Structure 1
Amino acid sequence: MFLNKDKIRKRKIYVGIIVVTMVFSITLIVYLTGGVMYVYPHLMYIPIVICGFVFGTKYGILNALIAGFLLGPLMPLNTSTGEKQLLFNWLFRTMIFLALGILSGYANLIFNKQRRQINKSLFYHSFSNVPNPNYLRTVDYSNFDDEVLIVTILIHNFQKIVDTFSQLFHFELLNQIYVNLTNKIKDEKVIVTNNGGKFWMVINNKNIEEVNDLLERILLEDYIIDNIPIYYDFSFGYKIKNIKDIEITTELFNKTDNCANQALKLEKKYLIAANDLLDDNQYQILSEFRTALKNNETFLQFQPKIALKKDEIKLEALIRWQHPEKGLLLPGKFIPQVEETKLANDLSIWVLNEVIEKIKEFETKNFYPEISLNISAKNLFNDEFINQAIIMIKDSGITPNRIEFEITENTIMNNLNKSKGVLKKLKDVGIKISIDDFGKGFSSISYLTLLDIDYIKIDKGFIDDLIKDEIYAKIVKYTINISKELGYEVICEGVETKEQFELLKSLGCDYMQGYYFSKPLNQSDIMEWYKVKRDDENEKITNKI
């Protein structure tokens, strides 16, 4: 069991009381046994050595002087005769006491230096100099309220920082963030890191909004290392927890870790674990999902992608779950949990099989859309899934280029080298490839030259502010222009207004998707939508003639 500072302080008080008691007890023993002419004065070495070793040289010397005075002029050589000591005798004894006080104090210096080095290696990361998880067990939490705020700070792209610069560069960033957090959070707190992309905190402030605002301001500050400004993204997980009578270890942060990860997947800044039922509900969802796939509780909706320069329609397949008890569940309620497990492959195989079947059904109705589906990191980097998907498409009899895999920019950049190989394998079969959420992650045009892809899908975040902020319009225009030069077509998602539509059209966007054209529709509704659109187009052609 580690000793925290408060326990060490209390033990020193106990040792101090023992030392004082010993000094006066030994003085009394010497007096009652006949004075300093007998052996008992040597007992005084014990409290002097203890005092010097525990409290240091200063207190060792002070104790030695007090002991020397008590056994010096105040103590007879022989108490029965009243004979006094010679001056030389008690001065010499005092000098011996002083030597012992100094030596034991020096031993204290060496011991404390070694102890500090050991403690640093036990409780601090050697390179970042930030407390590690062991430090949690050394803290005196008596100054905290019974209920505190448990926090996880997740740095999303820390591995990219390590790969781009170095591990030491990353450690310096952790140290700068830690120092900033320590200095600017005024509440009682404990901060540790796993030396990866994560900080764990215990804060004596249950106002989550207030703490979140402060943490965002701290992490959004400029961090510059070797004259290089560092960009990173982050998310938070929070939980209010009663810590009375429990041991504070990293297990306490399991739920806030999960919340921070879920916030990343759901594109939120933070999530709160409101109660202990959160994880239970998530596990329940996972346990029910495989059954849902078999029992036809899941189904697809389709959202059109409108071509501006061609006479064609593309669709994006979006999964829904009609839960027997919870009702209709949208992807955000179950996809993040599923994608953390092997169920991600079962999910995507089910979606791919449904897409293949829908393509065949649409063909019987003279409707020939290209249909896209989302592919997760677990799918992309799983050879078994990729091989199974290729076999399914080949055996289906449909033209492979009728299927498009949407893969997020972050997924590809997590392992660029492997991504290149997998994308080439898919392209060799004829499957179309789209980079989804472009601009949201690494936002580097240069890596696109390394990938064999068909479409760039600009993230909705840029489209939302397209009209209000000229900067976003310039970014979108630049992305469209450079993509075309590289031979890629551009899809803009999240188009909801006529103003956005007109501007994107003028910028040269190839495809648009969003509620301005249509919300996600069931199969029967998408056919009705298509018929109305086809009739409108035929009418326009007739009017022109």
Structure 2
Amino acid sequence: MEVKQQYQWHYRHWRLLYTLAAFLLVVLAIGVYLLVYMTGGIKFVYSHSMYVPILLSGFLFGMTGGVLFGLFAGFVLGPFMPINVVTGEMQETVNWLYRTGFFVLVGFLSGMASSMTRSYVERLKMAASQDLATQLPNRNALLEHIARADRGGSPESLVLADIYIENERELNTSFGGAVVDQVIRQFPARVAKALQRELPVFRINSAEMGVLIDVAGQDREELLDALVDVFRAPFPVYDFSIHIDVRI
């Protein structure tokens, strides 16, 4: 299974995986409790094994999960765990509360690091599938959209309309790229007006856009002609209007 397929499988089954992970973390915490108890009590070094599930909980469930599991771990090794099993001497309250505080801190820091990493990955993912100048989905997003449609048994009536701005170079020379981007930002509204429905418009390159249209029960040529007609009207940009030449 490829990495991308693994990611998609994990995304589809995330509830089950997270439930299983939470159960395993609880089991691991109980296992640490038994380890500490069977090796003589909390005064020995084995209690540090609890940091493993705490770090994992923060990594998997973020700051909230790390903090909650830190509290749980502190309670597991807290009032019911003796200092010395042989003598039966119990911990003072301040001792296990202090340890719980450290468990919570470690869980919080682990969760914060995980959340920051996930946020960064999401930004990278968005940047990889979005045209930064116009905020429209880009070529990568189009390919992913087509792949999803193919996996879902996309009907043969699905058509990719390729919208090409023939005078894009002249517009760039005369008005600059920012003005062209302003024009392209208005494409989704024009497409929705022509097709009477909202569809994503993908920016394939600087002068080329794509729209996936399900033409089932409709005349394909009429839809494409409607797209051509709607782009003949000028585009308002700042205090003037821009005319573009479109080929579909």
After TM superposition, the score normalised by the length of structure 1 is 0.37
8 Å CA contact retained: 1:19, 1:47: no
Match of 2:94 in 1: 88
Q: 1:138 to 1:194 in 2, by over 3 A?
A: closer
The 2-side partners of 1:13 and 1:208 are apart by: 42
Counterpart of 1:119 in 2: which secondary structure? helix
Question: For residue 92 of structure 1, what is the amino acid of its counterpart?
Answer: Y
The CA deviation string for residues 449-482 of structure 1, in whole angstroms up to 9 with x for no partner, is xxxxxxxxxxxxxxxxxxxxxxxxxxxxxxxxxx
Counterpart of 2:90 in 1: which secondary structure? coil
Counterpart of 1:125 in 2: which secondary structure? coil
**What is the CA distance between 1:193 and its match in structure 2?**
1.5
Q: 1:226 to 1:57 in 2, by over 3 A?
A: same
The 2-side partners of 1:207 and 1:65 are apart by: 60
The 2-side partners of 1:179 and 1:58 are apart by: 41
Match of 2:118 in 1: 112
8 Å CA contact retained: 2:137, 2:201: yes
Q: In the TM superposition, what are the counterparts of 1:16-415 in structure 2 within 5 Å?
A: 17-34=20-37, 35-78=41-84, 83-136=89-142, 138=144, 141=148, 144-147=152-155, 149-156=158-165, 157-178=167-188, 185-186=197-198, 191-203=201-213, 206-209=216-219, 212=223, 216=227, 219=231, 223-235=235-247, 260=248
**What is the CA distance between 1:173 and its match in structure 2?**
2.0
Runs (4+) off by over 6 Å: 3-6
Question: For residue 122 of structure 1, what is the amino acid of its counterpart?
Answer: A
8 Å CA contact retained: 2:159, 2:213: yes
Q: 1:130 to 1:39 in 2, by over 3 A?
A: same
The 1-side partners of 2:135 and 2:63 are apart by: 29
Q: Which gives a bigger RCO, structure 1 or 2 (Cα 8 Å, sep 6+)? A: 2
The 1-side partners of 2:122 and 2:76 are apart by: 36
8 Å CA contact retained: 1:145, 1:204: no
For structure 1, list consecutive stretches of 5 or more residues without a partner in the other structure.
Answer: 236-259, 261-545
**What is the CA distance between 1:95 and its match in structure 2?**
1.0
The 1-side partners of 2:96 and 2:136 are apart by: 52
Q: 1:168 to 1:22 in 2, by over 3 A?
A: same
**What is the CA distance between 1:214 and its match in structure 2?**
11
8 Å CA contact retained: 2:233, 2:243: no
After TM superposition, the score normalised by the length of structure 2 is 0.72
Aligned residues: 234
Greater helix share, structure number:
2
The 1-side partners of 2:72 and 2:171 are apart by: 61
Counterpart of 1:224 in 2: which secondary structure? strand
The CA deviation string for residues 131-175 of structure 1, in whole angstroms up to 9 with x for no partner, is 222224555827944326131231333333223211121122222
Cα RMSD for the two superposed structures? 3.8
Rg larger in structure: 1
